Amino acid sequence: MKLLLTGSSGFIGTHISPLLEKQFEVRHLVNDLRDHIKVTQETLDFSPDIIVHLAARTEVEKSFYEQITFSEINYVGSVNLIEAASRISNLKNFVFASTMEVYGWQLISDEVKYNLVPKESVSFDEHTQPNPNAPYAVAKYGVEKYLEYMHRSCGFPFSAIRQTNSYGRKDNNFFVTEQIITQMLSNPTEINLGYAEPYRNFIYIDDLLDAWLAVIMNPDKVHGKIFTIGPDNPIKIKDYANLIARKINWNGHINWNKKPARQGEIYWLNSNHNLITQILGWEPKITLSNGLDKTIETWKKQQRNESAIERR
């Protein structure tokens, strides 16, 4: 079968491409998603059986300052691709990378207060009402609703994965896990981070890839489904940083709140994987501790290589 992949150069794309190429004839979309005519032509010329749509701006923090760009790429670009895909008669599934960020603020007390941390651990699932609270999340949720509209009105085949915070990157330290690790490895005395109090859950790249492959390889079982993938392992960012520090044996000082404040910061995001496990049998296998060990070792090795190059 033929598979059209967007976002091939991104974190997931670079990891999943060689895996998909073992199973499919893969074409990597080359045109800008915002160019409706060129995207339509490229899509129709290839006429894929499956489309995996990963391409997006994903830096949530930056979306507060680059709202238009995020909306154009993440929403309008996705609609362009969906409309092109709707003209393919042999399309078996359109798999979309959504985000757990769509849950946004939740009413988690008796009073109407937002962004609070619940007294007991709560995990969001496919039945939790989304209330996106960042330009990035609003655009992603908009695509979900567009896909649901197309599925209901035209029978358009789709699946979406509301991804948890992923980690295991080797060459990008913008995101929280890699940012904490690289700062600690480079600065023995002190580092600067953002918010300390929010809770998040985390999934290692290998588990994330397995989840994507499970959905991609079973189109008949996942039509019209939106999945959360967990794992249900919420941890406060402050505690997360302290866990990483212990693993690295870092004894410096963390300066918190050193990044621009987000409008309406969300303090609790956590999800489970019950539905995808029930339908496909997938569940995460790598513990947070083991995943962090792998990621730390990756960046330590890179640091050693850079030091060796500098000494030459």
267 vs 255: CA distance, rounded Å: 19
Q: Which of 57-61, 108-112, 181-185, 293-297 has the lowest mean pLDDT?
A: 108-112
- What are the tens digits of pLDDT across the range 113-122? 455 677 778 9
The two three-digit tokens of residue 177, written as one number: 């896990």
* pLDDT at site 263: 76
- pLDDT confidence bin for 274, thresholds 50/70/90: very high
User: Residue 280 and residue 290: Cα distance in Å, rounded?
Assistant: 24
- 125 φ, ψ to 5°? -140, -165
Say which residue, 104 or 307, is predicted with more confidence. 104
Report, as an integer, the average pLDDT of 139-148.
98
pLDDT in tens, 22-51: 999 999 999 999 999 999 999 999 999 999
Q: b/e per residue, 212-238, with b = 16+ CB within 10 A?
A: bbbbbebbeebbebbbbbbbbbbbbbb
Alpha-helical runs (H) found in the chain = 11-20, 36-46, 60-63, 67-70, 77-85, 135-154, 176-186, 205-216, 219-222, 237-248, 274-280, 288-311
Let me know: does 53 contact 79? Beta carbons within 8 Å: no
The single-letter code of the amino acid at 190 is E
Judged by average pLDDT, the poorest of 96-100, 192-196, 256-260 is 256-260
Instruction: Tokens 């997360």: give the residue.
Output: 240
* Residue 112 predicted with pLDDT over 60: no
Rounded distance between C-alpha atoms, residue 223 and residue 235, angstroms: 32
Residue 109's pLDDT is 55
Q: What are the phi and psi torsion angles at 124 (to 5°)?
A: -80, 150
- Alpha-carbon distance values, 141 to 80, 92, 175, 179, 226 (Å): 16, 22, 21, 27, 11
The better pLDDT of the pair 25, 262 is held by: 25
The mean predicted confidence, pLDDT, of the chain is: 94
- Chain segment 199-248, per-residue pLDDT in tens: 999 999 999 999 999 999 999 999 999 999 999 999 999 999 999 999 99
Domains and CATH numbers, the chain: 2-311 (3.40.50.720)
For the chain, percent of residues with pLDDT exceeding 70: 96
Please give the distance of CA 92 from its chain centroid, rounded to a whole number. Answer: 23
Q: What whole-number distance in Å separates Cα of residue 5 and Cα of residue 26?
A: 7
pLDDT tier at 262 (50, 70, 90 boundaries)?
Answer: confident
Given a cut of 70, whether residue 111 has pLDDT beyond it is no
Beta carbons within 8 Å of 49's beta carbon, 6+ residues apart:
1, 2, 3, 24, 90, 91, 92
Collect all residues with Cβ–Cβ distance below 8 Å to 78 and sequence separation of at least 6.
33, 53, 56, 96, 143, 146
Provide the percentage of residues in the chain whose pLDDT is more than 90: 86
| pLDDT band at residue 192 using 50, 70 and 90 as cut-offs | very high
